């Protein structure tokens, strides 16, 4: 029997530059979720492995989802663009209704689906990427016109942003805005048009940040967290203590101290800080290398796509991962204001992991399709 050629392999196995980094990051995530959450798991659930087991279940489901999206021809998403968009908007509306949502930290960001929780904003990011890619690719001939290339896509983003701010979730709006504007830039929308909303956006951002007390407090804390390190600045200061104490090789897995009720959300928002403390600079550097491999691969797939829809979609999916990595690690390192955002493939969380894996599956399919066409 003749050996299989590379082009006969399933996209899931062909795109090894995506598969291997994702698997390695996910494996590191399982270990670090256990290490970061063991104390909380024992205290809240009398089980050291509670969050690790759930994350392992999420990972199993996510790998299946990635295999499915890698199998699905990406060109067909153009036919379902409006359906996906409507589903995302419907879920964002549903999360606002009492009885359907779950309140946590003063926000309504999760749907209760018979014992399972789902965060619609995560799916909304992926839905926006697919719809924006479809729309921008379809309008290529007139993309330089403000009324065609910029305005309708800004309206779509505004619709998403309006629903998400009601939850409220300002950080997700920032992420979606960066992805949206990045995709329009890649698609050829004029830079002047991309900058045109600034006179309107600046006052809105000013109001949303400086006229809302807790957001204003976050900015002041970010500017000087050491003014009040045991109260408003405790998140950033303890994050910096964790990373700084790790040194070159770290204290060792499970030996970190900041997860012991010093650093909030050590297995989700601040898991990067625990990685710095327990794996040191070497571990942090290795994780960044894996992310860089993913982002470079995504950029190459976007560059070599055989059609504009594939190129813009790949660019959007790459931005999706890159923006989240930059914001999460930036917050942990104290170079960005505190914002709850997961570290892709590593942080604890089912919805974010499933959507991230689905995105990588689509990217795999685009990359495999490019090779088939060549």
Higher-confidence residue: 372 or 248? 248
The secondary structure of residue 343, as a DSSP letter, is: P
Helix 198-210, helix 213-223: angle, nearest 10: 90
Among 65-69, 166-170, 300-304, the minimum mean pLDDT is found in 166-170
pLDDT digits (tens, 9 = 90+) for 95-108: 888 777 676 656 67
* Alpha carbon separation from 372 to 10, 245, 324, 365 (Å, rounded): 12, 49, 31, 10
- Per-chain mean pLDDT for the chain: 87
What's the predicted TM-score (pTM) here?
A: 0.91
Whether residue 277 contacts residue 249, with contact meaning beta carbons closer than 8 Å, is answered with: no
Beta strands 101-104 and 116-118, pairing class: unpaired
**Would the pLDDT of 2 be above 60?**
no
The number of beta carbons lying within 10 Å of the beta carbon of residue 311 is 22
Higher-confidence residue: 136 or 239? 136
> What number is the average pLDDT over the span 105-128?
81
pLDDT digits (tens, 9 = 90+) for 126-149: 999 999 999 999 999 999 999 999
How many percent of the chain have pLDDT more than 90?
56
Structure confidence at residue 1 (pLDDT): 38
Among 10-14, 118-122, 330-334, the minimum mean pLDDT is found in 10-14
Distance of alpha carbon 231 from alpha carbon 177, whole angstroms: 31
Confidence of residue 3 (pLDDT cuts 50, 70, 90): very low
């Amino acid at each position: 029997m003749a050996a299989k050629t590379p082009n006969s392999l399933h996209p899931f196995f062909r795109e090894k530059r995506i598969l291997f980094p994702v698997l390695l990051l996910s494996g590191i995530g399982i270990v670090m979720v256990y290490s970061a959450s063991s104390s909380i798991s024992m205290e809240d659930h009398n089980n050291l492995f509670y969050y690790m087991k759930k994350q392992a279940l999420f990972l199993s489901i996510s790998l299946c989802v990635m295999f499915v999206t890698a199998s699905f021809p990406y060109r067909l998403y153009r036919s379902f663009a409006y359906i996906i968009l409507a589903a995302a908007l419907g879920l964002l509306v549903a999360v606002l209704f009492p009885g359907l949502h779950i309140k946590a930290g003063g926000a309504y960001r999760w749907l209760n689906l018979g014992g399972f929780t789902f965060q619609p904003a995560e799916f909304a990011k992926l839905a926006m990427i697919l719809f924006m890619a479809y729309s921008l690719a379809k309008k290529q001939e007139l993309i330089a016109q403000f009324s065609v290339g910029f305005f309708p896509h800004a309206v779509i983003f505004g619709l998403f942003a309006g629903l998400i701010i009601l939850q409220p979730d300002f950080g997700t709006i920032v992420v979606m805005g960066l992805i949206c504007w990045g995709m329009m830039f890649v698609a050829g929308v004029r830079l002047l048009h991309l900058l045109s909303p600034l006179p309107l956006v600046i006052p809105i951002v000013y109001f949303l940040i400086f006229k809302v007390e807790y957001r204003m407090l976050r900015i002041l804390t970010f500017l000087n967290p050491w003014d009040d390190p045991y109260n408003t600045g405790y998140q950033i200061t303890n994050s910096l203590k964790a990373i700084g104490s790790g040194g070159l090789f770290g204290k060792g897995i499970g030996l970190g101290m900041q997860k012991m009720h010093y650093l909030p959300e050590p297995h989700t928002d601040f898991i990067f800080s625990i990685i710095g403390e327990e794996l040191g600079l070497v571990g942090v550097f290795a994780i960044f290398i894996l992310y860089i491999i993913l982002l470079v691969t995504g950029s190459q797939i976007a560059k070599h796509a055989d059609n504009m829809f594939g190129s813009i979609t790949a660019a959007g999916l790459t931005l999706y991962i890159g923006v989240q990595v930059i914001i999460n690690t930036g917050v942990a390192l104290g170079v960005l204001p505190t914002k709850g955002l997961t570290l892709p493939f590593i942080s604890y969380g089912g919805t974010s992991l499933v959507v991230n894996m689905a995105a990588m599956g689509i990217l795999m399919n685009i990359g495999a399709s490019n090779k088939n066409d060549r």
